[in-house]
Amino acid sequence: MDGKALAASIEEQLKIEVRRMQESGLRPSLATILVGEDPASRVYVKSKHRAAERVGIASKGFELPERVPEGELLALIDALNSDPSVNGILLQMPLPGHLREHRMIERIKPEKDVDGLTTANAGKLVHGVTDLVPCTPRGVMELLHHYGVPIRSARAVVINRSTLVGKPLHHLLLGEDATVTVCHSKSTDLPSMTRDADILVTAVGRRPGFIVTADMVKEGAAVIDVAMNRSDGKLVGDVDFEGVSKKAGYITPVLGGVGPMTVVMLMQNTLIAAGTQNRAVQQEMRQ
Ligand code: NAP
């Protein structure tokens, strides 16, 4: 499954949408907040700004030092919340340990929460409302749709239960009538579950060595590797690509798989947020 090519074709559609918005006087915009010096986070934020530029979304980057007090980060979020020229706010994760992630995320106005991580947006997803959905799970679903992987009645196994990946993906798959099993670090006998999976998504990314090997995969399954581990300076995923690709019907590479889809879904969410905010302003003006 070529996430790079699919992301590029979605970008082309988004460019057209941005042009249409600009013709009606709206320039969608995204603000990113990067706290600290984590090199991987810096790379991810940079790639989001580059994508915004390609699509025609205005983007501003804000950087705060590693030891920034919570109050200062909250003040920046407040300022961006009340700035009408900002449609989307992305707080790059992970945050340094002294910052309470959930508290920081909750401060973002739900209508500007383009990562879909606030309780309000997570709750909407549980109720089947899918406007601002976390970008990585949204990207995984797009890959499955694009490659025509049957989802209804399929058995899906997701190895991850984070609020960023596993939990929202569980709801998206369930919403399309898959039977979903969510696994995590306390799950026992992972292979007995993964061997039954028509769709297998893994996002562990924590240890050297593979989480998913060929003997754990059903013949013809769709295998999606979200994880990104650094090993000897190389980027590797959870899946033994070499072995699993011989057995899987579909498989994502670590590079050019889910990563570009995450970025393009952020662009899509920014346009959704801009559209919603614009409609709200117009409605207010009419009243
Ligand atoms: P996370 O919060 O650390 O989640 C990791 C998950 O893996 C947890 O649910 C954890 O279980 C589970 N886990 C850990 N060890 C396990 C084991 N031995 N067997 C089964 N499950 C195990 O991380 P995250 O933020 O969700 O990200 C996960 C990975 O995806 C990372 O490599 C990250 O870089 C990557 N990622 C990639 C993209 C992209 O765009 N490609 C986007 C987001 C994330 P517990 O809940 O029990 O701890």
Q: Which of 230, 286, 223 is nearest to 258 (CA)?
A: 223
Averaged pLDDT for residues 235-249? 94
Domains of the chain by range and CATH? 24-109 (3.40.50.10860), 135-257 (3.40.50.720)
Is 206 near ligand 1, meaning CB less than 6 Å away? yes
Cβ atoms of 238 and 159 within 8 Å: the answer is yes
pLDDT of residue 100: 97
pTM of the model: 0.96
Report whether pLDDT(232) > 80: no
Cβ atoms of 10 and 259 within 8 Å: the answer is no
If you take atom 34 of ligand 1, which residue's CA is the nearest one? 228
Q: Which atom of ligand 1 is nearest to the CA of 165?
A: 26
Is 205 near ligand 1, meaning CB less than 6 Å away? yes
Return the H-helix or E-strand segment holding 41.
helix 39-55
CA 161 – ligand 1 centroid, Å: 7
For 186-198, the pLDDT digits (tens) are 999 999 999 999 9
Dihedral in degrees, nearest 10, Cα atoms 268, 276, 18, 42: -50
- CB atoms closer than 10 angstroms to residue 176: 17
pLDDT of residue 184: 97
Is 212 near ligand 1, meaning CB less than 6 Å away? no
Burial grade of 93 (CB within 10 A; 0-12, 13-18, 19 or more): middle
Question: What amino acid positions are annotated as catalytic residues?
Answer: 48, 92, 115
For 6-34, the pLDDT digits (tens) are 999 999 999 999 999 999 899 999 999 99
Q: Which of 52, 153, 167 is nearest to 117 (CA)?
A: 167
Is 186 near ligand 1, meaning CB less than 6 Å away? yes
Cβ atoms of 203 and 175 within 8 Å: the answer is no
If one residue of 46, 160, 236 were mutated to test the ligand 1 pocket, choosing by the most ligand atoms within 8 A of its CB, it would be 160
Is 286 near ligand 1, meaning CB less than 6 Å away? no
Instruction: Report the SS3 class of residue 103.
Output: helix
